[in-house]
Amino acid sequence: MPLAVVGLVATTLLQLRIDASLDRRLDLVRERLDERRLVGRTQIAPRLEDRFDVLGIEVVMRGALPTDAFRHVRDLTVRSGWGLRETARRARGDCPISPYKALRFPYRCRVPRANSRTLRLLLSLGVILGVGSTATAATWIDPVAVSGTTIGTANVDLQVQGLNTVTNYSGLTMTNLAAGLSTAGVLTVRNNGNVPLRYYVDASATNPDGKGLATALEVKVTSNGATSGTLPNRTCANGALAGTASSFTSSFVGSAASPRSLAAGASETLCIQAGLPSTAPTTLQTASTAVSFSFTAAMVPASSWADSVAVSGTSLGTPTLVTPTLSCAAQNSIQSVVEWSASTGATGYRLYYGTGSTLTEDLLASQRSYPFKAPTSGTAYVQALYGPVWLSANSNSRTYFADGNTTTCS
């Protein structure tokens, strides 16, 4: 690489032969000649100017290339811009007289030009070596292009029921929840993002009437994908999931400290069951509560990137215990028929009849009449059933009689 620089610099100096810098260098020589009282002896100036290109090259090349290529000029140095001292010494071997006489008689003792063939050869060698070094370095470079890399950001996206907000979730809603009954609904939780998530669920329930229905509820969360049974007694069949609560409260499913994990693209189901125990008092009738859920998710590993889903629209309520009214229906010779009014929210009816109303029979909610066939007599009254435990007050009573010929009801 140094030879390359030398060759390039030498070539540049040759090209600057007529450059203004050459005139500046000649002026420096003439100033020195004037100082030595050689003013007027300008006959040597053409000879100096004629050889000045060689002198300039010797300034740069001296010590970098073999000196015998410049044996005739090696002791003659002219300073330009490189900080060298301007001197003029006698040319050893060619001019055995003093510098003063050499300058005075330039044609008898002159500083000859270096052999042009040798100079061109050396300069060409520097250029060739410089280019060769560059070419060799280039062959040592082996570039490899790597493409196809895509960098993207994480997508944290938790969904419930396929939505980012659920405002009308009615799968758990029940308005005639009585003691011994339950309701259930399934929520599908999905990690719709591209990174693993950890999530937990907080729940809350209101108490607008002050009767405390929310705190009286028994709650269970399982992994079932569907409910069992039908209203008014719908359930989640499996056992409760670990880390779930038994009431609608914070840390309902998991917690911030102990969340559930969900892989990217994965889903899981939460079956939520809520009911009243059989011991729940009838003072809870006509009570209500609104239940809501808050799902919170964060990516794995933990970061500030999070997502949340609000689920609302669930209402739970207990019925008002309505006492039915008993009346006599159409009569004929072989039976006496009684009937009663419907009680809203009743799950069935219990009929008391016979002598002293000691006999009972539980009837479906859809049945609201009963025939007493002859021979028969007694007193009847009815109660509305609300689940297996809660009963309305006794209806009014009716006395009936049938013997196959005569029937009465009063």
Establish how many alpha carbons lie within 13 A of residue 203's alpha carbon, considering only the half-sphere containing its beta carbon: 22
CB 375 within 8 A of CB 360: no
CA 339 to chain centre: 66
CA 206 to chain centre: 34
- Please write down the HEC assignment for all residues of the chain: CHHHHHHHHHHHHHHCCCCHHHHHHHHHHHHHHHHCCCCCCHHHHHHHHHHHHHHHHHHHHECCECHHHHCCCCCEECCCCCCCCCEECCCCCCCCCCHHHHHHCCCCCCCCCCCHHHHHHHHHHHHHHHHHHHHHHHHCCCCCCCCCCCCCCCCCCEEECCECEECCCCCCCECCCCECCEEEEEEEEEECCCCCEEEEEEEEECCCCCCCHHHHCEEEEECCCCCECCCCECECCCCCCCCECCCCCCCCECCCCCCEEECCCCEEEEEEEEEECCCCCHHHCCCEEEEEEEEEEEECCCCCCEEEEEEEEEEEECCCCCCCCEEECCCECCEEEEEECCCCCCCEEEEEECHHHCEEEEEECCCCEEEEECCEEEEEEEEEEECCCEECCCCCCEEEEECCCCEEEC
The pLDDT tens digits for 109-144 are: 444 454 555 555 555 555 444 444 444 545 688 889
Determine if the peptide bond prior to 301 is cis (ω within 30°). Answer: yes
Question: What is the predicted pLDDT for the residue at 150?
Answer: 82
For tokens 């009743």, the residue is: 346
Cα–Cα dist 236/339, whole Å:
37
Cα–Cα dist 31/42, whole Å:
12
Cα–Cα dist 130/108, whole Å:
40
Closest CA to 33 of 25, 42, 23: 42
Task: Tell me how far apart the 2 most distant CA atoms of the chain are, in Å.
Answer: 177
In the structure encoding, which two tokens stand for residue 163, read together? Answer: 């939505």
Question: What is the predicted pLDDT for the residue at 7?
Answer: 53
How many angstroms separate the Cα of 364 from the Cα of each of 50, 351, 372?
Answer: 133, 11, 17
CB 176 within 8 A of CB 265: no
In the structure encoding, which two tokens stand for residue 90, read together? Answer: 């006698």
Beta-carbon contacts of 32 under 8 Å, excluding residues fewer than 6 positions away, are 86, 88
Q: Which residues of the chain have pLDDT under 50?
A: 5, 18, 36-112, 114, 127-135, 137
Give ∠ CA 41-42-45 in degrees, rounded to 5.
130
CB atoms within 10 A of CB 202: 20
